[in-house]
Amino acid sequence: MKYFLYALLFLSSSKIIAQEFTVSGTLLDEQSQTIPYANILILNESGALVTGKTTAEDGSFIFTNVEANNYTLSVSFMGFETFTKEFKLSSNKSFGSIVLKENSETLDEVNLVSAKPTLNKESDRLIFNVANTALSEGSLLEVLRNTPGVLILNNAITVKNTVPTVYINDKKVNLSATEITQLLENSPANTIKKVEVITNPPAKYDAESGAVLNIVMTRNLITGYRGNVYGNYTQGVFPRYNAGINQFYKTNKINVNLNYSFTQSKINRENDNSVNYLDNSGSLDEKWETNNNRNTTSKTHNVNLNFDYFLDDSNTLSFSANGLIVPFFDYNIHGQTLIFDNTNTPIYNFNSLNQSNDDKHNLGFNLDFVHRFKNHGKLTFNAHYTDYNYKRDQNVNSEYFFSNSVDNFNTSFNTVSHQATNIKTSQIDYILPGNDGSEFAIGVKSSNINTDSDITQFDNDTVTGNTILNAENSNIYDYEESIFAAYTSYDKTWGKLNFRGGLRLENTNIDGLSVSNNVENMQNYLELFPTLNLMYSLKDNLSLYTNYNRSISRPSYQLLNPFNFFLNDNTVVTGNPNLLPSFTNHYIIGSQIGSRYTVEAYYKDISNQINEIPRQDNINNLLIYSPTNIGNTIEFGFDFITYFNIKDNWSVYFVTSLYNVQDEAFIDNQHIKIDQWSNYTMLNNNFSFLKDRSLNANFTLTYVGKNQQGFQKVDSRLVSDLTFSKSVFKNKGTLSLAFADLFNSQDFGVVSKFGNQNNRNYTNLDNRYVKLGFNYKFGNTTLKTNERTKELKERSRLEK
């Protein structure tokens, strides 16, 4: 019995001595930016390695099952001084935020070598790493074209059939959808690090961020000056040009980044439209066949300034300004329309010339303050102001021809429109890391938007030359919107389980007035937007995750504007001041197998879906493109993602999605329910050649099957891109050559055939081109930049 008690006491003591704990923390640089892929080592008292790993994408690390003992934590990363800290482990240990200091002597000798893109999948996002790859020698827009899950067609960026919010370095790009495309196309990607496709954004993002594209640029690590100049020549149907300069300067106290680019372009677009106008019985009454050829000529200036002043180790003050200035933007639309009766006999035809001259600017200003507490907490404040001004002069002239020539006549009118928008926002956030590796965040934001618009139409008498005011098509529209938001979020890991959750509250007040018809649009609503991410590691190479979020889609200010833009006398694009916001509930469940395979299933339920669909007025023979709350949309599907190396110089990633979209609504007192299965597949190949890997190539194929968008059936398309880049002049210069739409298969048709709607539109885009580019670096070319664009969500709704 005595020996048994001794043995029991020994085993109990061994259990206590062998008790295991966790060690965690987060790695930051001196500007509080997270540092991924850094080496984290735990050494014993004799300096021998116990265990080690690299930090995750968010800079975090966690060791589990570490026995109680005395250790040294060693942290190292290229360009920074090594951090070491002795500690005694007798309970769970959190180092909170570890700040690494820059090591300029090390970086002076760094020469970067071209690498291959890599793909990482987390529970709420897909991370596409492209730093120092062939893709980084093109534009930001070209990088997005090759990012898995991102689709760019007709200058529209979508993620899983959702228009995403675009961020650069976690700062919102406060431009309209069209302006975002212009900005990304004119911005070089040589300082890009990665693209994050966030399908379930945390609560800190605006509730309108149903999906987020965060473009992360590399940051400058040491003091000095660097810059680069670049130019591109693109030959499509017409030639277009782009050139710019990026400059960056850093000292111990300041960061300054100034970018400028200029683009001159002429874009062609061809549309063939067929409309079957029906009588009251649903039989064919008249058939209209129209061909529109549109040339868009523009000159665009992009300017971006960022200035950081480091007051001390704990406080940073930043100012940024960005401007999009378009002094010249011309539409020229030549249209030919043939009208047939129900026996396909020609009745008459008309030709139209639509000329439109636009002038606009979009200027944004930000003031930021960041304070870092001794407990590694962080307080940030942002104030933002946008000045947007847009003017358009439009002239439409039509000539009508009949078989007898006696009834021939002309019509002519012109419109003058103007829109001025001011946006003011302020936001404050507080982030507190816990000793157990958790993170708590809270914040508030207020926004105020004022838009004043007016349009005046004059009808011209082609016989007398007199000009008459058309009061019916003249109007004034005033719009004011205020949003107050507050959020809280929490992130923590318990062993194999990771939790990320948050709740956002937004209160919205809207007051819109259409003066001519005295129609007022007043809305006031308070909504909650939860977000949840759970990930559980079953084994080292197998994890399960699920997430949910609720988001809102508010109509853009341009969609709310009730003014008319005429393509010709019978085809008009108009806004809808009575639009309501739509709400989306998004559910995902998935599994990550090793580091190469991801399988997901998702479900989306969208209420009050907003779509701009063509509506036929069969009585007056009008085709009206107007945004509408069509009803409810349900989308569900299955995704598969993989990434692997075929050879040392050939890497491939593959994404495919099989999904179903179902639209349901009451239109013209009819219950309509339509659904369509579709497929989205991307195959991306990256190659490197020559002994020094200085020649790189990228070949991407993207297939979009026949799909449904707001009761419209869209034809399938095949997108193809081939890009080459070659380093020259001792790696200071880069030549690039890109070919787009190799197989001439990106043009598509759209059919609307439901109820009393029966029309088809075929679009031939100017998306087949060859692009030649050159980029040259000067100054200290071993530096990285902290280039970024600081923006806010509200500006993205200025126009579509």
> Distance between CA 674 and CA 672 in Å, rounded?
7
Q: Which residues of 95-117 are buried (b: 16+ CB within 10 A; e: fewer)?
A: bbbbbbebbeeebeeeeeebbbb
pLDDT, tens digit, 9 for 90 and up, residues 77-90: 766 778 888 888 88
Of 600, 619, 582, 585, whose CA–CA distance to 710 is shortest? 582
pLDDT for res 107:
37
* AA letter at 549: N
**DSSP letter assigned to residue 557:** H
Residue 240 has pLDDT above 60, yes or no: yes
* AA letter at 388: Y
pLDDT, tens digit, 9 for 90 and up, residues 64-76: 888 888 899 988 8
> Distance between CA 179 and CA 304 in Å, rounded?
14
What are the start-end ranges of the H helices in 670-797? none
Q: Which two tokens stand for residue 135?
A: 């893709």
Task: Flag whether the pTM goes above 0.75.
Answer: yes
> Distance between CA 122 and CA 389 in Å, rounded?
41
* AA letter at 578: N
**28-42, 232-246, 436-450, 522-536: lowest mean pLDDT where?**
28-42
Averaged pLDDT of the chain: 83
φ and ψ at 793, to 5 degrees? -60, -35
The whole-number average pLDDT for the span 512-539 is 88
Residue 216 has pLDDT above 70, yes or no: yes
Cβ-based neighbour number of residue 691 at 10 Å: 5
The whole-number average pLDDT for the span 639-658 is 88
pLDDT for res 31:
65
Evaluate whether 306 touches 787 at the Cβ level (below 8 Å). yes
> Distance between CA 423 and CA 421 in Å, rounded?
7
CA 474 to chain centre: 35
pLDDT for res 782:
44
pLDDT, tens digit, 9 for 90 and up, residues 1-23: 454 444 444 434 434 444 678 88
The whole-number average pLDDT for the span 37-48 is 81
pLDDT, tens digit, 9 for 90 and up, residues 384-399: 999 999 899 999 999 9
> Distance between CA 84 and CA 73 in Å, rounded?
5
Please, which residues bridge with residue 169 across strands? Answer: none
What are the start-end ranges of the H helices in 18-118? 104-107
Evaluate whether 668 touches 640 at the Cβ level (below 8 Å). no
The whole-number average pLDDT for the span 228-232 is 88
pLDDT, tens digit, 9 for 90 and up, residues 594-630: 778 889 999 999 999 888 888 889 988 999 988 888 8
Cβ neighbours of residue 661 under 8 Å, at least 6 residues apart?
161, 633, 634, 635, 675, 676, 678, 707, 708, 709
Residue 25 has pLDDT above 50, yes or no: yes
Pairing of strands 20-28, 156-159: unpaired
> Distance between CA 547 and CA 534 in Å, rounded?
6
pLDDT for res 8:
42
Please, which residues bridge with residue 348 across strands? Answer: 339, 402
pLDDT for res 16:
41
Greatest CA separation for the chain = 125
The whole-number average pLDDT for the span 441-451 is 94
pLDDT, tens digit, 9 for 90 and up, residues 688-730: 898 888 898 889 999 999 999 888 999 999 999 998 988 898 8
Cβ neighbours of residue 412 under 8 Å, at least 6 residues apart?
395, 396, 397, 398, 459, 460, 462
The whole-number average pLDDT for the span 769-790 is 66
Question: 650 by DSSP, 3-state: which?
Answer: strand
pLDDT for res 106:
38
Evaluate whether 315 touches 307 at the Cβ level (below 8 Å). no
The whole-number average pLDDT for the span 305-317 is 89
CA–CA distance from 633 to each of 187, 431, 447, 609, 661 (Å)? 35, 37, 29, 7, 7
Residue matched to tokens 């005694």:
88
> Distance between CA 30 and CA 41 in Å, rounded?
21
CA–CA distance from 434 to each of 22, 54, 692 (Å)? 14, 21, 46
Q: Which residue has the higher pLDDT, 225 or 173?
A: 225
Residue 115 has pLDDT above 70, yes or no: no
pLDDT for res 218:
63
Evaluate whether 197 touches 600 at the Cβ level (below 8 Å). no
pLDDT for res 691:
83
> Distance between CA 749 and CA 683 in Å, rounded?
24
Task: Using pLDDT thresholds of 50, 70 and 90, give the confidence band for residue 132.
Answer: low
**DSSP letter assigned to residue 249:** E
pLDDT for res 120:
72
CA–CA distance from 505 to each of 382, 428, 555, 582, 791 (Å)? 19, 15, 19, 16, 21
Evaluate whether 692 touches 707 at the Cβ level (below 8 Å). no
Of 652, 630, 633, whose CA–CA distance to 642 is shortest? 652
pLDDT for res 785:
40
> Distance between CA 780 and CA 250 in Å, rounded?
11
pLDDT for res 137:
59
Burial class of 288 by CB neighbour count within 10 A (0 to 12, 13 to 18, 19+): buried
Residue 360 has pLDDT above 50, yes or no: yes
pLDDT for res 3:
43
Task: Using pLDDT thresholds of 50, 70 and 90, give the confidence band for residue 591.
Answer: very high
Residue 796 has pLDDT above 60, yes or no: no
**211-215, 283-287, 405-409: lowest mean pLDDT where?**
211-215
Q: Which two tokens stand for residue 195?
A: 């693209």
**52-56, 112-116, 229-233, 606-610: lowest mean pLDDT where?**
112-116
> Distance between CA 502 and CA 549 in Å, rounded?
9
Residue 110 has pLDDT above 60, yes or no: no
Burial class of 631 by CB neighbour count within 10 A (0 to 12, 13 to 18, 19+): buried
pLDDT, tens digit, 9 for 90 and up, residues 732-763: 888 989 999 999 999 999 999 888 889 999 99
Q: What are the structural domains of the chain?
A: 2-107 (2.60.40.10), 118-797 (2.40.170.20)
> Distance between CA 83 and CA 50 in Å, rounded?
17
pLDDT, tens digit, 9 for 90 and up, residues 168-197: 777 676 666 666 776 676 666 666 778 888
* AA letter at 330: D
Burial class of 619 by CB neighbour count within 10 A (0 to 12, 13 to 18, 19+): exposed
Cβ-based neighbour number of residue 520 at 10 Å: 11
Task: Using pLDDT thresholds of 50, 70 and 90, give the confidence band for residue 380.
Answer: very high
Task: Using pLDDT thresholds of 50, 70 and 90, give the confidence band for residue 525.
Answer: very high
